[in-house]
């Protein structure tokens, strides 16, 4: 993952993209549930057994397989700690969601129209958050002289 980038799928080292659009991993239902666990406590490392205990309806081997898939998708890092393998999310849920949204917008024939239609679906509070973020980006751009 790049030094200046929050995108868990960033393949630049260091990332110098203005807006990172490196590939994004699509998640199946169980993969999403596992990522929800890892993202919820992002400063915590989990063993496969820890994750399986949160998902008692699934066999440990199933959870271990999902964790391995998530490592290969670049969303989870794995670290040996003695004889135990520790897992933790790479990046944040917000960064992953943002890359998915950017990917969806870029896939269409008219991304501008898609963005306008998306904006029309936002609640007042979501519009406020978006407006605040855009204003901050505008101020940052003016300070850097871009």
Residue 15: partners with Cβ closer than 8 Å, 6 or more residues away:
1, 2, 3, 4, 5, 7, 22
Of 7 and 46, more confident: 46
Mean pLDDT over 130-134 rounds to: 94
d(C-alpha 42, C-alpha 36), whole Å? 10
Residues 6 or more apart in contact with residue 37 via CB below 8 angstroms: 46, 51, 54, 55
What is the structure's pLDDT at 99? 81
Beta strands in the chain (DSSP E): 76-81, 84-89
The answer to whether 36 and 27 are in contact (CB under 8 A) is no
pTM for this model (two decimals) = 0.68
* Phi, psi at 106, each rounded to 5°: -70, -25
31-58 pLDDT, tens digit each:
999 999 999 988 899 999 999 999 999 9
Residue 114 scores a pLDDT above 90: no
pLDDT in tens, 83-94: 999 999 998 888
> pLDDT at position 21, please?
54
What does the domain layout of the chain look like in residue ranges?
A: 29-89
Q: Tokens for 109?
A: 């024939």
Average pLDDT along the chain? 85
Question: Residue 78 — very low, low, confident or very high, per pLDDT cuts 50/70/90?
Answer: very high
- In this structure, what token pair is assigned to residue 49? 């057994």
Of 1.10.10.10, 1.20.120.160, 3.40.50.410, 1.25.40.10, the CATH number of 29-89 is 1.10.10.10
């Amino acid at each position: 993952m790049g030094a200046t980038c929050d995108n868990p799928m960033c393949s630049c080292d260091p990332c110098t993209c203005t807006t990172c659009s490196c590939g994004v991993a699509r998640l199946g239902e169980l993969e999403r549930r596992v990522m929800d666990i890892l993202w919820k406590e992002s400063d915590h490392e989990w063993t496969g057994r820890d994750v399986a205990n949160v998902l008692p309806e699934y066999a440990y081997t199933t959870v271990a397989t999902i964790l391995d898939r998530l490592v290969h998708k670049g969303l989870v890092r794995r670290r040996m700690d003695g004889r135990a393998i520790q897992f933790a999310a790479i990046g944040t849920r917000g960064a992953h969601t943002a890359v998915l949204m950017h990917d969806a917008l870029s896939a269409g024939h008219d991304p501008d129209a898609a963005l306008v239609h998306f904006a029309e679906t936002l609640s007042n509070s979501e519009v406020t958050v978006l407006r605040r973020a855009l204003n901050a980006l505008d101020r940052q751009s003016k300070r850097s002289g871009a």
